[in-house]
Structure 1
Amino acid sequence: MTIDINCDLGEGMASDADVMPYITSCNIACGGHAGNKKSMVATIKLAQKHQVKIGAHPSYPDRKNFGRKPMDLPAEELLATLLSQLRDFEEALSKTDATLHHIKPHGALYNLAAKDLDTASLLVALIKTYYPEAIVYAPYGSVMAKTAKENGLEVWHEVFADRNYNDDLSLVSRSDPNALLHRPEDAVTHLEKMVKEAKVQTVSGMTQQILADTVCVHGDNPGALALTKAIYKAMKN
């Protein structure tokens, strides 16, 4: 029984190098919500050093809000900015002789694609056209996961160890006091149930089916290093 441990990196946090030994894949900011060409190359090199799989983490072009607020962009404009970000990431990959493993949308774009068919279809069409070999990281049961599979793309279902779930498997809003699991031991218990039993206990107390191929740790979380170490140790055991 295995699970991939992924982390959002290249976002300007000081802990990237400390977290890297305890993860197996990383999602690197492509300049939309954070990062630039220089940080992409540096983070890719760090991932290569630790044999960590490399993924692109495109987002809404919104550095002010760190890509965490939906933007009402025309489809053509959204497609253009995402393709621009991914082209910059391609350039960084070529400079480091690295290979793209996966693509994971960031923040509000990820959340919207999970439930909105138009957004999911736009992302899937982009990936299928330009990066058909890339694995798509998406939540289990989401519109994004279903659309990607229907289009022949490989999907890894992503879960969150430190986030509580609603009954429909959406994440509890960060504005809710019950959104986060703050203690690493609680997050590990939460994750173990998802990995071993393919089930998750929601914030209301219900138990729902879920699949977990990869677990995310947010690199901008102040407790990211402690949480990643705890997950790494538990999953290794």
Structure 2
Amino acid sequence: MSARIDFNCDLGEGCGNDAAILPHVTSASIACGGHAGDDATMRATLRLCREHGVAAGAHPSFEDREHFGRRVLDVAPHDVARMVREQIQRLRAIARDEGVPLAHVKPHGALYNVAAEDPAIADAIAATLAELDPTLALYALSGSELARAGVERGLRVAHEVFAERGYDARGRLRPRGTPGAVIESLDDAIAQVRRLASRGEVAADDGRVVRLRADTLCLHGDRPDAAEFARAVRAALEADGIAVRPFGTAA
């Protein structure tokens, strides 16, 4: 049984739920201009993180605001490195001004999923982070190419699992728009969370059991019921005796 887990949410995306979600999570991945967000939303989200004692991180993405960063773009690794670097630096400058330390980096959407499979993109992201600030943790899909790349670069890697996303038999997220990709039922999401946190496993779309390392648990903040989900997930974890703490902090 896992004694502890980080509970993170993607925030600063203009969905209006941030203030209601933040009291229930331990880490926030903040949109930094690629798929959503601007200087004002970054500053506001950082201030909320400071108010609630939530660890703040950068959530860089493909530069594709029109499709919320969820469309795969044909971008060379060196251009991915540039985008990631610029977005992290943009958030980091505001975070320094607000006196909020950055704790991690987590790619968003299509970039996250491409980096889970493509070694070159994964290496470009990990190398950029190692050069920019190797003290930052890298949040990566559990067991993915990005997790491997982060370890090889000497980074602290948080293997990430998802509260309300469906999995395939390889332990990858089912593509959005396909049946079962998003778990709409709160009860079903809670059941998946409990199984991931307590046993390190999830049921795939074909019924097989997939083992996954679960250092951090993600909830998407852009769903309209995200605040309700966040409150219920936190309560379920604590009821099961799971310590909910930011990744890398002392127990």
TM-score by length of 1: 0.97
Pairwise CA distance, 1:76: 3.1
Amino acid at match of 2:93: E
Q: What is the aligned partner in structure 1 of residue 234 from structure 2?
A: 232
Query: Contact 1:41–1:95 (CA<8 Å) still a contact in 2?
Result: no
Q: CA deviation at 1:50?
A: 0.1
Say whether the 8 Å CA contact 1:128–1:151 is kept in structure 2: yes
Contact preservation (8 Å) 1:158, 1:213? yes
Q: Identify unmatched segments of 5+ residues in structure 1.
A: none
Quote the residue 2:244 is aligned against: none
Deviates more, 1:77-86 or 1:201-210: 77-86
Tell me which residue corresponds to 2:174. 172
- 90-99 or 76-85, which moves further after superposition? 76-85
Q: Per-residue deviation at 1:216? A: 0.7
Tell me, what secondary structure is at the counterpart of 1:56?
A: strand
Give the corresponding residue for 1:136: 138
Q: Please say which of residues 27-36 and 74-83 is displaced more in the overlay.
A: 74-83
Give, as a single letter, the amino acid of the residue that structure 2 aligns with 1:24: T
- Stretches of structure 2 that go unaligned for 5 or more consecutive residues are 240-251
User: Deviation at 1:79?
Assistant: 2.2
Aligned-residue Cα RMSD (Å) equals: 1.0
Alignment match, 2:92: 90
Q: How many residues align?
A: 237
Deviation at 1:198, TM superposition (A): 1.3
Deviations 1:71-92 (A, max 9, x none): 1123333322222111111111
Using the alignment, how far apart are the partners of 1:151 and 1:80 within structure 2?
18
- Three-state SS of the structure 2 residue aligned to 1:98 is coil
The superposition leaves residues 136-195 of structure 1 with CA deviations (integer Å, 9 ceiling, x where unpaired) of 111111000011111111111111111111000111111112112211111111111111
Judge conservation of contact 1:166–1:172 (CA < 8 Å) in 2: yes
The equivalences for 1:71-90 within 5 A come to: 71-90=73-92
Q: How far did 1:133 drift?
A: 0.2
Contact 2:78–2:124 under 8 Å retained in 1:
no
Moved over 3 A (4+): none
- Residues 43-62 of structure 1: matches in 2 within 5 Å? 43-62=45-64
With structure 2 as the length reference, what TM-score do the two structures score? 0.92
Q: Which residue of 2 aligns with 1:27?
A: 29
**Aligned partner of 2:119 among 104, 117, 120:** 117
Match for 2:220 among 218, 221, 231? 218
